[in-house]
Amino acid sequence: MPQPSSSLGFFVLLVVAVLTGGCASGDAGAPLASARIPEAGSTAQLRPGDSLTVALQGVPDPSTNNVQIDEQGLITLPFIGAVRAAGTTLAELSQRVRETYLSRRIYTAVDVSIVVTERFVYVGGEVQRPGRIGWTPDLTVAKAIQAAGGFTLYAKENAVSLVRDQAAYSVDVKAARKDPSRDPRLVPGDSLQVARSPF
């Protein structure tokens, strides 16, 4: 008889643990208001996916190089290979490229100018035209969905996943349409995933 009562005690403890754990995770799993989505770093910072034009001047053979920051945050340039670009500003990257050319003695003097040509966010899942969307400073979650052709018939509109800096947040786009304060602005490199509704 002692064994069944200890098993019953263990079962009661397990149920209590599951219930209290469920209550705690219930809040964490609830859709987040846009105010709770942390602001990303300055949009001046370069991110993977950004397309750049790097001009080298003041050298025997001036060149203009169109590059894109890869998933590792790198760009590749003639003679010096990979240079870390993500997380820097244009001014910082220009200085880094210049110093790399000079320190490796490829050039004795070089002027570097860099401009951003394209920046993107990514929209996937239950939208009409999934893929890359050109980023603009006023781009929000709802506007990005609209630029992707809008939701499909089966989209889960009240729980769109916004992935930023390797963390995911839920955005209720239905509510955001009525209350623009709940429609967070996007930054380059953000990714939206629209799940399929079970109904």
The confidence score (pLDDT) of residue 24 equals: 36
Helix (H) or strand (E) holding 131: strand 131-134
Counting every residue, how long is the chain?
199
Please tell us whether the domain made up of 51-118 is placed in CATH 3.40.190.10: no
- Tell me how far apart the 2 most distant CA atoms of the chain are, in Å: 93
- DSSP code, position 128: S
In the chain, where are the structural domains located? Answer: 51-118, 120-194
Burial-class residue 91 by CB neighbours within 10 Å (0-12, 13-18, 19+).
exposed
Q: What is the pTM of this model?
A: 0.70
Please tell us whether the domain made up of 120-194 is placed in CATH 3.90.1150.10: no
The confidence score (pLDDT) of residue 165 equals: 81
The confidence score (pLDDT) of residue 41 equals: 58
Burial-class residue 12 by CB neighbours within 10 Å (0-12, 13-18, 19+).
exposed
Is 120-194 the same fold as 51-118?
no
pLDDT digit string (tens) for the chain, length 199 residues: 444 444 444 443 333 343 334 333 333 444 444 447 876 556 789 999 999 999 999 998 899 999 999 999 999 999 999 999 999 999 999 999 999 999 999 999 999 999 999 999 999 999 999 999 999 999 999 999 999 999 999 999 999 999 988 899 999 999 999 999 999 999 998 999 999 988 7
Contact predicate 188/149, CB 8 Å: no
Beta strands 111-118; 51-57: pairing state? antiparallel
At residue 32, what are phi and psi to the nearest 5 degrees?
Answer: -90, 140
Q: Specify the 3-state DSSP secondary structure of 15.
A: helix
The confidence score (pLDDT) of residue 174 equals: 94
The confidence score (pLDDT) of residue 25 equals: 35
Contact predicate 83/106, CB 8 Å: no
